[in-house]
Structure 1
Amino acid sequence: MAYAIRTPRLLLRCWSPEDAPRRRALIDSSDAHLRPYIPWMRDEPLSLSETAQRLREYRADFDLDQTWRYAVLHEDTLVGDVGLFPRVGIGALEVGYLLGVGHTGQGFATEAVSAMLRIAFEVAGVDRVEIRCDPGNEASVRMAKRLGFKHEACLPRRYRDEHENFVDLDLWSLFASNYPTTVASTSAVYATDCMGMPLLGSTDNLTA
């Protein structure tokens, strides 16, 4: 799997425990923005040491090819988190993301998720990628449509919100057969493995 991915404006790389202070600041400043839509926000706020431990777990899962979560940086500023998760069945991955409250509305989510789609279909070789989001998360719904995902279903009572109420999830899917027609398939990326060797794309097309 790709350990580092560059796009015209972003660097996506593995999380490290040393990122704990910056992640803590991002989550704390965006609590009200994230809490309605991110299930694990029910566990927040974590302490700095707990955050570092969580990042160690992220990296361990990454190295074991279990889940792949990336810090999203713009000009060395941490702006969010994006990842691929094999929890939606054989031959499929779920893509998830978050952006800090001060970094929305700039196309960063679309750019990061487009990179994840290239990795999922062209490196991992999956048949399907899913997005699962709150039906009220209008930004995620717009992005799913923009990237060519099709709405498959509304899944009733699939997670608990910040008030411990069960809420629905929208299921959006993109299949490998449709991927070549999407804007993500031609997005500029340069991905490298754990040794820095090229996996996908080129640096030639990364001019923002």
Structure 2
Amino acid sequence: MNSFAEAYTWINFRFLLEGLWVTVEVSVISIILSSIIGLFLGIVRYIRYPVVSSIVGVIVDLIRNLPLLLLIFFTYFGLPKIGIRMEPLAAAIAAMTVFESAMIAEIVRSGIQAVDTGQMEGARANGLTYWQGLRYIVLPQALKKMIPPLVSQFISLIKDTSLATIIVLPELMYRAQIIYGQNTRYMIPMFIALAVLYFVVCYALSLVASRLEKRIG
């Protein structure tokens, strides 16, 4: 019990909270950017522009089937070989945005396809253009179907920020490793603290999404 009391000093706890802030920062920025890019790519895949949609489809499928850790390695260690250098924070955000954009693109495409084709036909019959029908009729209905998989993907992203430890990003996991690296007796207390902090953030996101889903419904 002494190791627990010693591990949970205010200094260590504040150190962890600073890491949690980095984790949240990376997650929020990546979620916003990937949502915008993923929505665009998903619509392009759904509409099936000649050549363009095929190229986007190949890129999305390629990225979706690569390990996120590989993308983080490539962004931080590979891009400098061609003159593109990034700080750990920027590299982590870039890699996660690319990966999440591909995942969200597939969610968006599947969500739109799940909407009955009669909805678009009805919109066109009432004088709406294709884009108006997509924006005002199809997408709002598709959003209801997309919320659960999107939330799961965002929660996975939050947990995957721990992979950025490999490029020395001072996020939550990295800071916990520093603490128990100084005293191995703190290892179990730090693992427990990590579990609690990750749970709080991810559970809070799931609650917000649940309320949003009810409001939309």
TM-score by length of 2: 0.23
Which has the higher Rg, Structure 1 or Structure 2? 2
Higher helix share: 2
TM-score by length of 1: 0.23
Higher strand share: 1
